Amino acid sequence: MSSKKPIYTMLSTGGVYHKNKSDTPTGTYHIQPERGDNFYNHKLNEGAKYYVSWKDHEVYLFHSVPTKSDGSIDKKEAKKLGKSQGSHGCIRLSIPDSKWLATTVPVGTKVVIKNN
């Protein structure tokens, strides 16, 4: 958003719900300095392309749909994009959208996560 005007919209998928509460924290945050082209989390057995931190310095991220250990897209999880919950708290985006965010949005940009 720029003032009240949207400058870019995208499909996303947030955290899985447990007892009517999402794993994605709600509130107002700001883009943090941590970002990169890809990562892999051995504990969760998944990774992603193009990430940007928005809470707790690399704990909560905007990133692409999940990737497998070989870097390929997890097609089952990718099909959830914009349709259902799926993450452990991060915000999943398409690969082009996650790349746009990682290369365009500056540190300090306000992020508002709402539970509608």
* Active-site pick, 42, 57, 63, 88: 63
Determine whether 88 is an active site residue.
no
The string of pLDDT tens digits covering residues 12-59 is: 999 999 888 889 999 999 999 999 999 999 999 999 999 999 999 999
Do the Cβ atoms of 67 and 48 come closer than 8 Å? Answer: yes
Judged against a pLDDT cut of 80, whether residue 108 lies above it is answered with yes
Q: Are strands 17-18 and 21-22 parallel, antiparallel or unpaired?
A: antiparallel
Give SS3 for 51. strand
* Active-site pick, 30, 57, 88, 90: 90
Do the Cβ atoms of 22 and 16 come closer than 8 Å? Answer: yes
| Nearest-angstrom CA–CA distance, 73 and 109 | 28
Do the Cβ atoms of 14 and 60 come closer than 8 Å? Answer: no
The pTM of this model reads: 0.89
What share of the chain has pLDDT > 70, as a percent? 99
Instruction: Please count the other Cβ atoms lying within 10 Å of the Cβ belonging to residue 3.
Output: 5
What share of the chain has pLDDT > 90, as a percent? 78
